[in-house]
Amino acid sequence: MIFKNNCRYIFNFIFNVVLLIKILFLSLATTVHSHEVTPAIGDIFQKQDGIQLEIRLNLEALLSGIDLSDISNTDEATQSAEYDFYRGMSAVDLKSNFSELWPNFKNEIQIKQDTELVDLKLQNILVEDQKNFEYPRFTTVICSVKLDPRRSFSFQWAKSFGEIVLREQGGDNSFTQYLQPGEKSAEISISEKNPPIFQKYFSNIFLWDCAHNSKRLRPYTFYSRHIFLID
């Protein structure tokens, strides 16, 4: 009788331990790593036969199909589970998934000279080493764009991709433009002379703040945009 009771006790103990392990595993597996949505950063570098465009963005959000124009945090999206799935991927797998879908994504990015649509060629994908799942992992997508440097061009991407800050790097006509989701940029020229010093100074201050705290400084967008458009 004592042996039977002991066996029953041991069985119940093992069963409860296994049950607790399963509950713990499921709770960890379904943990939602929500991340605040921030504007993408698009750096433009002048090249001999056109430009190089480097866009730093949240690739997991795009791959999961989240509409970044409509939310401020990824856990607000119906695709939050897909987002966590991509966030858990290794950098190699994330790059591979995006490379396969690149033809679809590049159709959502329009660079035009007058009415001519210019093609983007994917050159590289750099995934930041962010192992803490409580923080978003940013990726830089590098594209080459062949265009006539003597003619201006415009940039526009899909509204669902969210806000973006465009910046020219290393050129004589450095500029910064903050774009609302789906908004078309002003005409961009990479062959003009240097703009006034105050123009570069103020536009960089306003747009840097806008990129880091877009909601607080959104009322200044109109003002800052016209600073860098002054001749």
The DSSP output letter for 159 is: G
Residue in 168, 179, 186, 169 with CA at minimum distance from that of residue 211 = 179
| Number of continuous H segments (helices) and E segments (strands) in the chain | 7, 9
Asked if 83 and 68 sit in the same domain, the reply is: yes
Q: Read off the pLDDT of residues 203-230 as tens digits, 9 standing for 90 and up.
A: 554 554 555 554 444 433 333 333 333 3
For residue 213, what pLDDT is reported? 53
Helix (H, G, I), strand (E, B) or coil at 19: helix
Asked if 173 and 149 sit in the same domain, the reply is: yes
Asked if 37 and 119 sit in the same domain, the reply is: yes
Q: Exposed, middle or buried, 9 (CB in 10 Å: 0-12/13-18/19+)? A: exposed
Asked if 19 and 67 sit in the same domain, the reply is: no
For residue 75, what pLDDT is reported? 86
Asked if 16 and 115 sit in the same domain, the reply is: no
Counted domains in the chain:
2
Q: Which long-range contacts (CB under 8 A, 24 or more apart) does 102-106 make?
A: 105/62, 106/143
Q: Provide the domain limits for residue 184.
A: 33-193
Asked if 13 and 116 sit in the same domain, the reply is: no
Q: Tell me the two tokens of residue 167.
A: 């910046």
Residue 108 lies in a domain: yes
For residue 169, what pLDDT is reported? 85
Asked if 15 and 84 sit in the same domain, the reply is: no
Q: Read off the pLDDT of residues 17-51 as tens digits, 9 standing for 90 and up.
A: 443 344 343 333 334 445 889 999 999 999 988 99
Output the pTM of the full model. 0.70
Mean pLDDT for each 10-residue chunk of the chain (231 residues)? 52 45 37 73 93 97 95 90 95 97 96 94 96 92 94 96 93 81 94 48 49 44 34 33
